Structure 1
């Protein structure tokens, strides 16, 4: 899990670009007229969003209350598959190395296949296509998050544009080997003294998106690849050298993909777990 850079251009210009690409239809000859009549109101609301985003206080936003045709017209602007949104996805997922991240950073498991609306569009139709309100996400994270995002003006989920992720480890894994069966359980713990408010958000984020459960469900590929890698290397190098090399690689990946990258944490734990080596690698 790493932070992504938010949209750097003028957000309202993106809104205007999407609106400009819309056309009237035979069934709705006044769609563009209705959109154009909303432009000035939306522009002012975008300024409110931008200020709240700058101050990381989105949880205090008050919805404008668009209803009826106005709300539907604004919601119809959003289409993940449309060219403007696919280009936006590329901008948001291109990192400093000029490589594109294709994995949802809310979970680091699924492929990006949608945008998460940080402020839900069902409540805030005016921000349905605000580019700073759209976070590249997998469909499963979107499903689990649904429309929940705040509780009594308290933010519930990480905003990976704004919340600086801690370098301290909070994700851990418990391993157990019994009767040639490997049991894996992920859990989070604030043993390293992360700020209480931030950790509370991390904790809810992981619980609501079922991350520890999903990490476990996706562990087999990691374990199998690790076993195959270690067993292949044993033919050519001493075990202690192989373990140090594997550990070094995992820590490099951890540095690249986040201090709490679940795959690296699992790999590092496994190569230092003697029962795993004895029962699965050296058998």
Structure 2
């Protein structure tokens, strides 16, 4: 699990909001577009909020970022910037996606499993409608993570989900896996454990993220299929003249580790399989 790359600001996020508003039609069925008129009236307030949001990110004070009741009262008009999915909104999506390493968005940043086909508003759009098209409030994610997170981004004491544009994601292993061997099959059991050198303020958000999304139990459910895929690849490797299972598996996982980090569940699993004598024996007995 790694941070996302912050989208570039060659054109400021504020200017992109203006583009979205200005791209709306001036009239609807011959009548003035009252939504656009209201959005233009609200623009100075929205741009102030953009600056405040960006400052909160830079200062790591998102938890204390307040809602704005005056703007919430115009929620429907403000959310029309996002729901319209105009060309200018699509450009914001593309800006986010193009900033990420190639293949990074093959997997949802929240869970590391599924192709991300939606966008989560990290600060929920129902409570922060003015930020509905701010690139730094949009996290590509899968539908399951989006619906699970919903509006529940914090509790009384801390944020409950990782903010992938700015949060510190430690480069030390905190996801672990034990290989379980049976008579005719190999399984795995994942766990999450706090390393001694991770600050509590970082860990409380990190562990909450995994807990709220139920990721450890999901990884456990998926482990058998992943092991089967690695097993089949290793069998093919040996049948084609290969000799070193450990080196082969480590070569398989290397691009994944570079892309997703040392705590991506598939990386953790493959690393453990690479050094497992039981797994190697199981592969060799099936060649």
> TM-score, normalized by length of structure 2?
0.88
With 90-99 and 153-162 compared, the bigger mean Cα shift is at 90-99
CA RMSD of aligned residues (A): 2.4
Tell me the equivalent position of 2:276.
273
CA distance in 2, matches of 1:96, 1:37: 34
Distance 1:97 1:59, change over 3 A: closer
* Secondary structure of residue in 2 paired with 1:77: helix
> Aligned match of 1:83 in 69, 75, 87?
87
CA distance in 2, matches of 1:211, 1:90: 28
> Aligned match of 1:196 in 200, 205, 214?
200
Distance 1:250 1:185, change over 3 A: same
Tell me the equivalent position of 1:176.
180
**Per-residue CA distance 1:133-179 (angstroms, 9 max, x = gap):** 11111111111111111222522211111013211111111221223
Distance 1:244 1:18, change over 3 A: same
Where do 1:234-245 residues align within 5 Å?
234-237=238-241, 239=243, 241-245=244-248
Do 2:234 and 2:283's aligned partners in 1 also have CA atoms closer than 8 Å?
A: no
CA distance in 1, matches of 2:195, 2:166: 24
* Secondary structure of residue in 2 paired with 1:41: helix
Where do 1:1-283 residues align within 5 Å?
1-9=1-9, 10-23=12-25, 24-26=27-29, 29-66=33-70, 70-79=74-83, 81-95=85-99, 101-152=105-156, 154-237=158-241, 239=243, 241-279=244-282, 281-283=284-286
* Secondary structure of residue in 2 paired with 1:254: helix
CA distance in 1, matches of 2:284, 2:193: 29
**Per-residue CA distance 1:207-239 (angstroms, 9 max, x = gap):** 111211222333344222211111112234464
CA distance in 1, matches of 2:234, 2:21: 55
Distance 1:69 1:162, change over 3 A: closer
> TM-score, normalized by length of structure 1?
0.89
Do 2:161 and 2:208's aligned partners in 1 also have CA atoms closer than 8 Å?
A: yes
Shift of 1:188: 0.7
Structure 1: tracts of 5 or more residues without a match: none
Shift of 1:7: 2.9
> Number of residue pairs matched?
282
